[in-house]
């Protein structure tokens, strides 16, 4: 099946939109809080530079050369073209698993955006009670907003590469950046901004252990949409002669800058009004609404803007993580885009209902396994295992399976031989060992104690 092409700017915005998601604005800031601030930021930045960027270039290359869905692209680049490496392309199903809980979170965001217009909690107790009531008791409300999020994603995917994904990102990405920038500029006027800078960049290595390192590696893959064939699938639609090395660099820079901006902005508000920077996922749904309530009418405006930005970030990532499954179904089964999108959406919407039920008071035990709610199982399985494993597959494939000459030929028009050697070394001897460490740590085989 012939795949429609992105424009170059369209691909950059789409790839950046895939990378810049809830991981930057919802997840990264509370992880910084959990693991002590600047020390975690440093490890995360090193991970992005030497692991995330290296694998991002490798994954873009597979799609760019393969020019098809993930399965066919791996098969095209494999030395024998008929080996078992085609099965690596099934990492695209990881995105569908992520979407089962990701869509639920987008639903929460849409709910809070509408609620913020009329009500903001004035105390943390009220905020915690409200969030707990939503997650624990309001099953119908969650399903409705989960369904709305699903419809949004479907409506964009149904329009295809040019008419849907590219067009949506050309609107949503600039809007997202402007909203975050506007909130950051206001936050810079607050006394809490200095404390935010200190917290984000002061080093406390006492909280760094194997879990923190694993979280940094896993999050770098989550936020860059690596290891699930999203970027690979987009790359199949890149125009010929696109500088894939420079494109990957732009995506990483934009992703990282927005994560830092979001963290600085959020913690400025948190410190200004004496809230807990280690509030976990509740930082977004409990601490910040309480903070915004103390700003009066301006707080309502900021709250709606903030949750709108979160919704935009979630949507741009959501469409990218479902597209690999849609593209594969269209190529392999000759389904129409309507059929492929509908079936994929029904799957993640249905499993998403089970995931949100695992947090509820009435049905939580029914959907809890080994003492862990299904929602958490899906989150940890994808972020800490499937994404690093998918990234390891890509790194091993490009670093050790595909002939070095062919890899160099794919990049030689864009970078010099010295830069290529540094990147190639990074893929083989930094990314691969780091990802193996992450997986072994997850299995409890190795660990690093706190300093």
Report the distance separating Cα 328 and Cα 326, nearest Å: 6
Lookup: tokens for 205:
């290595």
User: Strand 372-373 to strand 368-369: parallel, antiparallel, or no bridges (unpaired)?
Assistant: antiparallel
Q: Are the CB atoms for 352 and 318 separated by under 8 Å?
A: no
Q: Does residue 258 sit within a domain? A: yes
Lookup: tokens for 262:
């979001």
Report the distance separating Cα 398 and Cα 386, nearest Å: 18
Question: Between the CA of residue 353 and those of 99, 138, 307, 382, what are the distances in Å?
Answer: 12, 12, 22, 18
Q: Does residue 1 sit within a domain? A: no
The parts of the chain modelled with pLDDT lower than 50 are 1-3, 450-451
Lookup: tokens for 50:
């030497």
Q: Partners of 372 in the beta sheet?
A: 369
pTM confidence score: 0.86
Please report the sign of the dihedral spanned by the C-alpha atoms of residue 333, residue 91, residue 105, residue 182.
negative
DSSP string, 177-238: HHHHHHHHHHHTTSTHHHHHHHHHHS--GGG-SHHHHHHHHHHHHHHTT-SSSHHHHHHTTP
- Residue 362 phi/psi, 5-degree rounding, is -80, -35
Q: Does residue 451 sit within a domain? A: no
Report the distance separating Cα 141 and Cα 134, nearest Å: 8
- Residue 450 phi/psi, 5-degree rounding, is -65, 150
Q: Does residue 197 sit within a domain? A: yes
Give the SS3 label for residue 120. Answer: coil
Q: Does residue 95 sit within a domain? A: yes
Query: How crowded is residue 304: how many other Cβ atoms within 10 Å of its Cβ?
Result: 17
CATH number (domain holding residue 338): 1.20.1740.10
Q: Are the CB atoms for 168 and 315 separated by under 8 Å?
A: yes
- Among 216, 247, 229, residue whose Cα is nearest residue 59: 229
Strands (E) located in 102-199: none
Q: Does residue 448 sit within a domain? A: no
- The answer for 334, left when phi > 0, alpha when psi is -120 to 50, beta otherwise, is left
Q: Which helix (H) or strand (E) holds 369?
A: strand 368-369
Q: Are the CB atoms for 185 and 266 separated by under 8 Å?
A: no
CA angle 446/375/432 to nearest 5° reads 35
The confidence score (pLDDT) of residue 104 equals 96
Q: Does residue 233 sit within a domain? A: yes
The confidence score (pLDDT) of residue 36 equals 75
- Among 424, 419, 382, 304, residue whose Cα is nearest residue 99: 382
- The alpha carbon of 62 is separated from its chain's Cα centroid by a whole number of angstroms, namely 20
Q: Per residue, what are the HEC states of 239-298? A: CCCCCHHHHHHHHHHHHHHHHHHHHHHHHHHHHHCCCCCCCCCHHHHHHHHHHHHCCCHH
The domain tally of the chain equals 1
Query: Could you tell me the residue range of the domain that residue 44 belongs to?
Result: 8-442
Tell me which residue has tokens 């639609």.
237
Q: Are the CB atoms for 251 and 19 separated by under 8 Å?
A: yes
């Amino acid at each position: 099946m012939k795949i429609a092409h992105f424009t170059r700017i369209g691909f950059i915005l789409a790839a950046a939109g895939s990378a810049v998601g809830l991981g930057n604005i919802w997840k990264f800031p509370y992880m910084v809080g959990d693991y002590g601030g600047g020390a975690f930021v440093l490890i995360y930045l090193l991970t992005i530079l030497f692991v995330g960027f290296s694998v991002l270039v490798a994954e873009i290359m597979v799609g760019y050369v393969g020019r098809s869905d993930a399965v066919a692209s791996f098969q095209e680049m494999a030395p024998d073209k008929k080996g078992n490496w085609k099965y690596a392309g099934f990492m695209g199903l990881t995105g569908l698993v992520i979407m089962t809980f990701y869509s639920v979170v987008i639903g929460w965001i849409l709910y809070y955006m509408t609620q913020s217009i009329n009500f903001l909690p004035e105390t943390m107790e009220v905020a915690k009670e409200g969030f707990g009531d939503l997650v624990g008791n309001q099953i119908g409300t969650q399903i409705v907003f989960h369904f709305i999020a699903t419809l949004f994603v479907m409506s964009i995917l149904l329009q295809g590469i040019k008419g849907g994904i590219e067009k949506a990102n050309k609107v949503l990405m600039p809007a997202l950046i402007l909203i975050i920038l506007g909130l950051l500029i206001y936050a810079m006027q607050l006394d809490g901004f200095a404390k935010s800078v200190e917290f984000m960049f002061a080093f406390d290595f006492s909280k760094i252990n194997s879990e923190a390192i694993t979280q940094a590696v896993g999050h770098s893959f989550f936020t860059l949409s690596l290891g699930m064939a999203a970027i690979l699938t987009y790359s199949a639609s890149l125009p010929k002669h696109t500088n894939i090395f420079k494109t990957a660099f732009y995506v990483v820079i934009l992703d990282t800058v927005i994560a830092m901006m979001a963290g600085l902005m959020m913690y400025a508000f948190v410190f200004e009004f004496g809230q807990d920077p280690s509030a976990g996922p509740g930082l977004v749904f409990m601490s910040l609404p309480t903070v915004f309530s103390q700003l009066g009418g301006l707080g309502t405006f900021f709250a709606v803007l903030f949750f709108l930005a979160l919704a935009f970030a979630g949507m741009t990532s959501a469409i990218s993580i479902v597209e690999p499954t849609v593209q594969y179904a269209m190529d392999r089964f000759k389904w129409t885009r309507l059929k492929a999108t509908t079936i994929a959406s029904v799957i993640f919407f249905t499993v998403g209902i089970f995931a949100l039920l695992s947090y509820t008071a009435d049905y939580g035990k029914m959907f809890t396994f080994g003492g862990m709610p299904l929602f958490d199982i899906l989150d940890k399985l994808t972020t800490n295992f499937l994404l690093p494993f998918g990234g390891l597959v890509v790194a091993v494939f490009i670093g050790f399976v595909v002939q070095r000459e062919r890899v160099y030929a794919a990049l030689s028009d864009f970078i010099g031989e010295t830069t290529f050697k540094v990147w190639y070394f990074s893929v083989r001897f930094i990314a691969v060992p780091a990802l193996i460490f992450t997986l072994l740590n997850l299995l409890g085989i190795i660990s690093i104690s706190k300093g």
